[in-house]
Amino acid sequence: MKKKKDTIDLTKGSVAKGIVAFTIPLIFGQLLQQLYNMADAWVVGNFADNTAFAAVSTSGSLVFLVVGMFNGIAIGGGVVISRYVGAEDEKNIERSIHTNILFGIIASVLMTAIGLIFAPQILNMMDVPENVLPQSLTYFKIYFAGSATIIMYNIFMSIMRALGDSVRPMYYLAICSAVNVVLDLIFVAVFHWGVAGAAIATVIAQGLSAVLCILRMRKNQGCTRVSIKKLKYHAHIMGDVIRQGLPAGIQNSVISIGNLVVQTNINSFGEYAMSGAGSHSKVEGFVFIPIMAMSLTMSTFISQNLGAKEYERAKKGAIFGIVSCAVVAAVIGIVEYIYAPWLVGIFAKAPKAAEFGVIQERTVCLFYFLLAFSHSATGVLRGCGKSVIPMATMLGFWCGFRIVYVTIAIRIVPVFKTICWAYPITWSLSSLVFLLFLFCMEPFHFPGKGLICPEFPEKDQGINTGNAHNGKNNPGHSSECAEEVADQVKFKKTDESPVNSSNDDQYQSCNVKPVPFHVNSSFREAA
């Protein structure tokens, strides 16, 4: 497949330059997304009362609980597409794109129903104060009624990134962020619609971004052109998407569950604590910009290079991405610690609210490098098709342990800062697990092994997966094994197998394992 000029080929050229070139547009895109999300809070905080601001502030955890599941699966879909792009398998590129879009349509219907039905119950479980509850409910009803725009936008964003295009999504975000700010000012500051106006502005702006993505992909040529006629269900593609994306979706949701418990305990300190924590979350959102950009880059970079069988290149890219992301996050954390009062004060106008925000800010910001390490490592593992590992880690620490810690610790030391420590502690534990896992994969000792996937064939052993069925001996494998492989290929290979890739089954009897495209075992409320 010939690469387009407007996409970046991550399988060739300098590893560092390729990663940086792909990440920079994502950083700007994430920045615009953060400004996009910030607009609601800033306008409501300045042109409505503190109750309205608290209602918008408490929305993050609940929104991501529902949206995160579907967006996680969208990320998995991007990994599948990237692998086919690396293999230059045009037939399955086309199938995977349209299967992902079809999934987005189905997910949109489900999320609308889930959000509208269960939002009241979840808000009550979160112990939202009675004076804040009506406005929170208004915000969610409007938000989830327009959830299709949000899901489809994220689906198209994931597809475009998988194809190597990280620039156009940035342009679309720039346009839509400007539209969102203008509409926020009109609906909230001029019409005085409060949280309803903020929610309406968000839905309209997200819808515009989704439309721009559709129009762009309709103009594509060849296998990447989107067509309604091609929206068909392909079982093997959907299976790969679910296997790759479901762990990521579960991961996102369980993190949200843990954060809902944390938010519930914050709510018990009153509306000023809610507003202060909300102000901190808006500031912290800027930390996620380079972190999430690098995590997304890692997933695309690793999966494309594995599809192209560039295993050493994938390993070098993983090391560069993880280290650079942690260093950038550490620097940002130091800056935020110094300027915490001023940064929190941008959003929290009430002095009591700002006080709570500064406490949380200075408790967590010096540990951002651990947050960065965990997320960049997650991106690497997802690109390898190993989404279950980060899912299990986040389930154990960012959900389970976080809930246990907050529930017990707040009763022993009943102060606001105790809740804030839930984040650095769980970031530390997850980083330790990821570090141990990566070192156990021996990335620094045995070339061709570790870090990416221990089961990848090693070039220095002379294993040629492409000719395993030709009757020739590979080192350490018998001709009888090669003949058995040939028989399996003859009877089991189908037109739905990736181009230039070997069937997983053909390796099983030879004890030679392929690049794990079809994973049999098996973003953001990222903190």
Q: Is the dihedral of CA 296, 10, 171, 210 positive or negative?
A: negative
332: number of Cβ within 10 Å: 20
What residue segments make up the domains of the chain, in order of their start? 15-440, 459-508
Between 251 and 290, whose confidence is greater? 290
AA identity, residue 143: Y
Which residues, including other chains, have CB under 8 Å from residue 79's CB and lie 6 or more apart? 162, 244, 245, 299, 300, 303, 382, 383, 385
pLDDT of residue 526: 47
Whether the per-residue pLDDT at 499 is higher than 70: the answer is no
194 phi-psi bin (left φ>0, alpha ψ -120 to 50, beta other):
left
User: Would you say 374 and 425 are in contact if contact means Cβ atoms under 8 Å apart?
Assistant: no
Q: What's the Cα-to-Cα distance from 336 to each of 332, 347, 352, 367, 418, rounded to whole Å?
A: 6, 15, 20, 11, 20
Which residues, including other chains, have CB under 8 Å from residue 256's CB and lie 6 or more apart? 61, 62, 64, 65, 68, 525
Between 446 and 25, whose confidence is greater? 25
Q: Which two tokens stand for residue 472?
A: 């020739």
Residue 453 — very low, low, confident or very high, per pLDDT cuts 50/70/90?
very low
User: Would you say 107 and 73 are in contact if contact means Cβ atoms under 8 Å apart?
Assistant: yes
Helix, strand, coil abundance in the chain, percent, nearest 5: 75, 0, 25
- Measured CA to CA, the distance from residue 130 to residue 260 in angstroms comes to 17
456 phi-psi bin (left φ>0, alpha ψ -120 to 50, beta other):
beta
Between 397 and 480, whose confidence is greater? 397
User: Would you say 218 and 226 are in contact if contact means Cβ atoms under 8 Å apart?
Assistant: yes
In tens, the pLDDT along 154-170 reads: 899 889 988 888 888 88
pLDDT of residue 323: 93
pLDDT of residue 61: 62
- Measured CA to CA, the distance from residue 31 to residue 126 in angstroms comes to 29
Would you give the distance in Å from CA 512 to the centre of its chain?
Answer: 32
Residue 359 — very low, low, confident or very high, per pLDDT cuts 50/70/90?
very high
AA identity, residue 481: C
Q: Which two tokens stand for residue 508?
A: 């099983």
Whether the per-residue pLDDT at 185 is higher than 50: the answer is yes
- Measured CA to CA, the distance from residue 422 to residue 20 in angstroms comes to 32
- Measured CA to CA, the distance from residue 37 to residue 158 in angstroms comes to 19
- Mean pLDDT for the chain overall: 77
Residue 234 — very low, low, confident or very high, per pLDDT cuts 50/70/90?
confident
Would you give the distance in Å from CA 401 to the centre of its chain?
Answer: 22
Whether the per-residue pLDDT at 467 is higher than 80: the answer is no
In tens, the pLDDT along 128-145 reads: 778 888 888 888 889 888
Side-chain half-sphere of 424: how many Cα atoms within 13 Å?
15
- Measured CA to CA, the distance from residue 155 to residue 176 in angstroms comes to 16
Whether the per-residue pLDDT at 405 is higher than 80: the answer is yes
**Nearest CA-CA partner of 262 in 362, 386, 360, 150:** 360
398: number of Cβ within 10 Å: 28
Whether the per-residue pLDDT at 12 is higher than 90: the answer is no
Whether the per-residue pLDDT at 482 is higher than 80: the answer is no
**Nearest CA-CA partner of 219 in 6, 10, 463, 432:** 6
DSSP 190: I
- Measured CA to CA, the distance from residue 320 to residue 241 in angstroms comes to 27
> pTM for the whole thing?
0.68
Whether the per-residue pLDDT at 392 is higher than 50: the answer is yes
CA angle 211, 301, 22 (to 5 degrees): 60
